[in-house]
Amino acid sequence: MTSCSSYCFVILLVLCRGYTSNTLYANACFTSIISFGDSLADTGNLKQIASETDKVISYFLPPYGETFFHQPTGRCSDGRLIIDLLAESLGLPLIPPFVRSDDVVELGQGVNYAVAGATALDSPFLEAKGVYNSMTNASLRVQLAWFKQSLPSLCGEIRDCKHLIGSSLILMGEIGGNDYNVPFFAGKSIDEVESYVPLVIDTIISAINELIEMGARTLVVPGNLPIGCTSAYLALFGSQKEKYDPTTDCLIRYNEIAEYHNELLQTELMMIQELHPNVIIIYADYYNAVMQIYRSPHKFGFTNGALKACCGGGGPFNYNSSMKCGLAYATVCDQPDTYVNWDGVHLTEAAYKHIFKGLFQGPYTTPQFNSLCPTSTSSTEEILSRSIIVELKALQ
């Protein structure tokens, strides 16, 4: 990653030239957030797409959204997601979905292209493998195409676009989880799904390179979560034949897929960083940020544990693929904030809060996000010194 000494030199150079406060962004770091990804970041795109096709999806029914919004919003949780918490911490509005009934998109508000169920790989590739995604075909390439399509309405001239993109925080995912979820749920073997990992990483890296060419200067790239700890995987794939992590009771072989994904991703990100020293690429270690909770759920206030879903169709992990959360006969717990898992696949707002703190206010990003942009109340001098770094990148 870029060395601290180079940052210090740039900051001193700007201060000597008389840096003025009117060049700071409104929130001292970024003008907006541009997001891509799947259900971990979708703030309503799939909900709008489904409404146009009369497709009924359980994610858009109560009790989704009950904790914070008090109604379903298209978020796959009982409340806010990591992207919502990040936006709030930066003093930005909640990021609206790209697919909207009013067709009005303003970069000043931020734009979210993430779609629940999305894969990094294109649908035709997966279909050739006998894997069909019934949720959506809005792959990462499709989302990137939406972004390019919307640029004229976002910023007008190409020069303005480069500046606006450069002053925005690009959130690349999480993406890739469904490239493994969909095949696994379709009955594919671990060996076959493992063979997809390098292709998934290549797709993500290709999108990052395109965004850098378009002017991106600060990107947060999350790794995958430990899928072997989810209620759905434990219910569907758990057996006496499987090996379990003694510290978490998670499925080891499935978590190894996520670990393999994350290792390859970090290797590729380091290579991009070397090629683009003026770009800040932040790896967000979602895996270990949540693994600390799985290891000690009671320490974080999850008195009902980490492995059983709050909302679901019964069984030891409260997950039943035929009685998903939101559908008839599914039940919901009284205190979601005491559960890590919400619906078998997604997490509760309470869990996302702890993950957010570990990532954006703690040690689980490389380089540490909070050293580049404060996400809590800081002195004017501290905000100035940290935001200079980001401002300079946008001007280069």
What does the pLDDT look like over 198-225, one tens digit per residue?
999 999 999 999 999 999 999 999 999 9
The span from the CA of 226 to the CA of 251, in Å, is: 9
* Number of Cβ atoms within 10 Å of the Cβ of 129: 15
Q: CA-based angle 130:132:134, to the nearest 5?
A: 165
Contact 223, 240 (CB under 8 A): no
pTM of the model: 0.87
Q: What does the block give as tokens for 36?
A: 């891509």
User: According to the model, what pLDDT value does residue 100 have?
Assistant: 79
Mean per-residue pLDDT over the chain, rounded: 87
Residue 383 has pLDDT above 80, yes or no: no
The span from the CA of 99 to the CA of 89, in Å, is: 24
**Residues 261-296 pLDDT 10s:** 999 999 999 999 999 999 999 999 999 999 999 999
User: According to the model, what pLDDT value does residue 108 have?
Assistant: 65
| 39 is an active site residue | yes
Q: Which domains does the chain have, with CATH numbers?
A: 32-364 (3.40.50.1110)
**DSSP string of 183-241, one letter each residue:** HHHTT--HHHHHTTHHHHHHHHHHHHHHHHHTT--EEEEE----GGGSHHHHHHH--TT
User: According to the model, what pLDDT value does residue 362 have?
Assistant: 96
| 354 is an active site residue | no
Residue 323 has pLDDT above 70, yes or no: yes
φ, ψ (nearest 5 deg) of residue 7: -60, -45
**Residues 82-124 pLDDT 10s:** 999 999 999 999 999 999 756 555 656 789 999 999 999 999 9
Q: Which entry of 32, 89, 139, 346 is annotated as an active-site residue?
A: 346
Residue 191 has pLDDT above 90, yes or no: yes
Residue 11 has pLDDT above 70, yes or no: no
Residue 131 has pLDDT above 60, yes or no: yes
The span from the CA of 313 to the CA of 284, in Å, is: 32
The span from the CA of 118 to the CA of 145, in Å, is: 14
Q: Which entry of 38, 78, 179, 343 is annotated as an active-site residue?
A: 343
User: According to the model, what pLDDT value does residue 155 have?
Assistant: 80
**Residues 296-314 pLDDT 10s:** 999 999 999 999 999 999 9
φ, ψ (nearest 5 deg) of residue 67: -75, -45
Residue 49 has pLDDT above 70, yes or no: yes
Q: Which entry of 39, 123, 139, 168 is annotated as an active-site residue?
A: 39
Contact 272, 208 (CB under 8 A): yes
**Residues 354-375 pLDDT 10s:** 999 999 999 999 999 999 888 7
Q: What does the block give as tokens for 307?
A: 């492995």
pLDDT grade, residue 379 (50/70/90)?
very low
Residue 4 has pLDDT above 60, yes or no: no
| 346 is an active site residue | yes
Among 117, 82, 47, 172, residue whose Cα is nearest residue 354: 82
Q: What does the block give as tokens for 39?
A: 């259900």
The span from the CA of 207 to the CA of 323, in Å, is: 36
